[in-house]
Every structure is written in C-alpha cells, then in structure tokens.
Chains A and B, each alone.
Chain A
Amino acid sequence: MSGSDQLSAVFSALADPTRRAILAELADRDATVTELTAPLPISMPAVSRHLKALERAGLISRTRSGKLRMSRIEAAPLREAAEWIERYRRFWDTSLTRLDAHLAAVQAAGRPTDRTAHGPALPDSESPGKSHDKEN
C-alpha cells in the first residue's frame, strides 16, 4: 500500500454497502456484471458504476475473457490487513503444533494427566525455583 491516500481511497470505496457486497461476491470468484447484478436490488448500470469506483480504488481489476468482461478482486490494497491475518494464522498454526508436541511430551512422561486441576504435571507457577524438566 503506497500511503494514506491509497488507504483513504480503499476505505472510501468500502464505505458503501453495495460495493462491499460486490467485493464479497468477488472474493469467491471472478464475475461478470450480469452475475454481480443478479443478487442485488439495483440495476446493471448502477452495478457498473460501483465497479468503476472499486476499480479506481484498486480493489478490483477488469479483464476481458472472450466476450465476457470479468471483474476480479485485487487483494494488494488490502495487503497490510491480509498480511496481519496471515501472520497470526501462521502464528497459531505453528504454536498449536508445538502445543500438540508439548502436551504429548508431558503426558508421555508418565506424569499424572491431572483431570482434577490439582497436582499439576509441571512445577506450579508459584514455585519457579523448581526444576524445569517438562521437556523430558
């Protein structure tokens, strides 16, 4: 994203519920004006105007496929937000995989699996001086 002006254009385009609905449709698949108009209570020319606004904001691109003019979502202007989602998704994926391994190690160590919330399988958090042998 090249700066606040681009961001403003994006959010301005997104401020309209019809344009958000169009964008949501395009998130699933590329579509023609006809396809985009079908679920909306507005005319095809109105949808075309909304598509122009989205195109100006860089949120979609429009290409010809044979006789059809397809609209396609362009994620680049939303890259920053998308990257945050991806970053955290990767974080959770990695962490939960490590959690699996950790839980397996704790349980395989033959310690009480402790279904009663007492007698922890690891040193109490209140007693950090105990040995940390949880990885064994």
Chain B
Amino acid sequence: MDRDDPQIVISRVVDAPRDLVYRAFTDPDHLAAWWGPIGNSLPREEMDFDIRPGGHQRWTELFPTQPGLRVDVHIDLTDVADGELIDGVAHVTGQLPEGIEPHETRMRVEFHDEADGRTRLEIRQWLPERLVGPADQGWNEAFSKLDAALTNAHPIAVDVEV
C-alpha cells in the first residue's frame, strides 16, 4: 500500500520542542491525553508500546457514550528514528463505529525543528488499497486532485499539501 503517494498529507507546526512532541506520539501517557476522536478513552493498561523499527504501538479506544464500540489499533512500526520519525502500518479492528470496516493504513509522522523552539509535523497517511482502486500513479493523481477539490469545498484548520 506504500508504493504510491499518500492520500493524506498534513503539515502542522506545534508550539513545543521537538523531543516533547515526539514523546507525545511515542509515550503512552502522552498519547492517551490527546489521541482523538473527542470523547474516546485509551485505557492505560491496554496500551503496549515498543518504539523501535520492528516494534509496535498497541492500544484500544473506548467510547463512553457508545459502550458497544471497541477500536483496537495495532501499529507495526517499520521505521523509527528517535525524535525524528515514526512510520508504520496500523491495523484497525474490533467493534468499530458504523461505516468503518477493519482496515490497514500506513501512517508516517516526521518531526522537524522550527524556529523559536517549535516543531513542524509532517503527517502522511496511505488509505486501504481497496479504497483507492487499481493502485497506479494516474489514479492517485486524479484522486489527489479530487481530494483537493473536496478540501477546498470544506475548509479545515490544517494545512494540506496536495
């Protein structure tokens, strides 16, 4: 699923030093404090992080307002550079919200220094292959432009590069 361009590209500057931002993604106590969506919770005892190439991040997302849901996220980390990069394939299973099928999605997050002690996040995500059809460059180019058109129609707060 990674031989083509990502369908989602997000660049975002956060007001915190790079090491701290990196830990926000790689320390379970940090991640549980902010990982969305709103209203979910990540039981600490179900979090299991082993941050290294070949390692993993595992957690379960619960939704107090929807007791039947249980989203299990298992990320197989393929590439990790301390303070700089985490890249892996997330396997999403469990009792998922309506309309969401179990799927795999590659996510890559790069951490870059910015001026004044801030950090630029470069987030890339590749969606399930079955959703992007015959995975060749042309289709992805068309899809990226469609994505851009949809983005323009519904402005959002993040910076999107396509």
A residues touching B (Cβ–Cβ < 8 Å)? 10-11, 14-15, 17, 20-21, 23-24, 27-28, 73, 75, 78, 80-104, 106-107, 113-117, 120-125, 128, 132, 134-135
* Residues in A whose Cβ lies below 8 Å from that of B121: 96
User: What secondary structure prevails in chain A residues at the interface with B?
Assistant: helix
| 9 A–B contacts, CB within 8 A, in A order | A14-B133, A24-B145, A73-B146, A81-B131, A95-B37, A96-B14, A114-B19, A122-B27, A132-B44
Q: Which residues of B contact A96 (CB under 8 A)?
A: 10, 12, 14, 121, 158
User: What is the size, in residues, of chain B's interface with A at 8 Å between Cβ atoms?
Assistant: 60
Q: How far is the CA of A34 from the CA of B157 in the complex (A)?
A: 37
Check if A95 sits within 8 Å of B142, measured CB to CB.
no
Nearest CB on A from B122, distance (A):
12
How many A-B contacts at CB < 8 Å in the complex?
161
Would you give the shortest CB distance from B157 to chain A, in whole angstroms? 6
Which of B14, B18, B49 is most buried by chain A, counting CB atoms within 10 A of its CB? B14
Q: At the interface, yes or no: B1 with Cβ under 8 Å from chain A?
A: no
Chain A neighbourhood of B142, CB < 8 A: 14, 20-21, 23-24, 27
Kindly supply a per-residue 1/0 record for chain B positions 3-31, scoring 1 wherever the CB is within 8 Å of any chain A CB and 0 otherwise.
00001101010111111111110011110
A75 to B28, CA, bound (A): 39
Report chain B residues within 8 Å CB of A23. Answer: 142, 146
> Are the CB atoms of B19 and A115 closer together than 8 Å?
yes
At the interface, yes or no: B67 with Cβ under 8 Å from chain A? no
